[in-house]
Amino acid sequence: MVTNTQVWTAIVTPMQADGAVDYQSLQNLLKAQADAGCGVVLLGSTGEGIALDQSEQRELVRFVIKLDFNFPLLVGVGGFRLAEQLQWLEYCNQFSRIDGYLMVTPLYAKPGAKGQSAWFKALLDKANKPCMLYNVPSRTGVNLHYDVIKNLSSHPNLWALKEASGDIERFKQYQKTMPNLAIFSGEDGLMPQLGRLGARGLVSVVANIWPSEALLYVQKSLDGDIDTHTNNTWQLATSACFCASNPIPAKVWLHHKGVIASNTLRLPLDASDLRDITLLQQADNEVQQWFHMNKEGVSA
């Protein structure tokens, strides 16, 4: 189930106006993902995972695994305190409903290849599920070193990589370093290019808003069936979802459409930093029109 999933939606964490997790809105979002045929990444950076304390994270996991929705599930692992992440893995390991983990490069410290290798080895050793490493230097301040992939290439729990540096040459080098590693685009707008180069799929932000549409976009990217209209539509969608710090635009639009009850985020993120939703409105219109024209033959 994990290996066949083409779209993993890095799901937002809806919150009530007072900042508490809005579980009803979350359930609505997850049902839409299940209906579309997308996988879900819980408590990633888009889900504001590190803004939730440990008790909130545990409660969120317990809530999601009890839902009767059929989607593959990855849980985010990230921070800068190794002992806490090992405890988190020990907690999550007990749930068979969790299919794997997304493990981001350590935050803030900007470690070198040896530090990163030791960090990820400790996490991989603790995990009892397939693991996807996550390179996102715009958030962590450092790229995942190629030597980390090389050093850990034989680890049985290393399954995949989410590559979100925006650097196509880096994607190619990761492929060269470990040819059997499943590499997913972490950049919505680069899916057509990376699909041609052998990406297995997409870990997506835009799929929060357009899950079925994003799945069709990814399928077309993997098939090499991207025309100018398709490319322009999804470049616009991507720009709209990143016109302010992620996940502000996604939450603002989902609230605007009545999908979630509030656009509340945890500080230092604030929805008021996005004052104009014109680009999101335009993107929504374009995506809906594109999907109507192309949805014949879509498979979930």
- Please list the active-site residues: 134, 162
Place of tokens 């849980």: 75
The phi, psi pair for 22, rounded to 5°, reads: -95, 95
Give the Cα separation of 46 and 250 in Å (integer).
Answer: 9
The phi, psi pair for 162, rounded to 5°, reads: -95, 115
Q: What are the tokens at 238? A: 């991507």
Give the Cα separation of 121 and 115 in Å (integer).
Answer: 10
Q: At what angle do helices 278-294 and 211-223 cross, to 10 degrees?
A: 60
Give the Cα separation of 203 and 62 in Å (integer).
Answer: 23
Tell me if 260 sits within 8 A of 251, measured CB to CB: yes
